Amino acid sequence: MEEDGSDIRVERVRVFNEQGELEKVYLRDKMGVRFADLSDVADDLDYLEKRPSDV
């Protein structure tokens, strides 16, 4: 949620190494800007299921 009350959508990006181990997690908006992950906020599964495939 932005300061002006608007809602922005970001995706949680998980980066794995060659062994399949999680190395880092961050949030990214549609413009590619990275944000620190909020580990206490779960993925919005309803949004992920409904979002267009080109997002």
Tell me the per-residue pLDDT of 34-55, one tens digit each, with 9 for 90 and over. 888 877 777 777 766 676 665 4
What distance separates the 2 farthest-apart alpha carbons in the chain?
42
Which pLDDT tens digit goes with each residue over 12-33? 898 999 999 999 888 898 888 8
- 2 or 38, greater pLDDT: 38
Q: Is 5 left (phi over 0), alpha (psi -120 to 50) or beta?
A: left
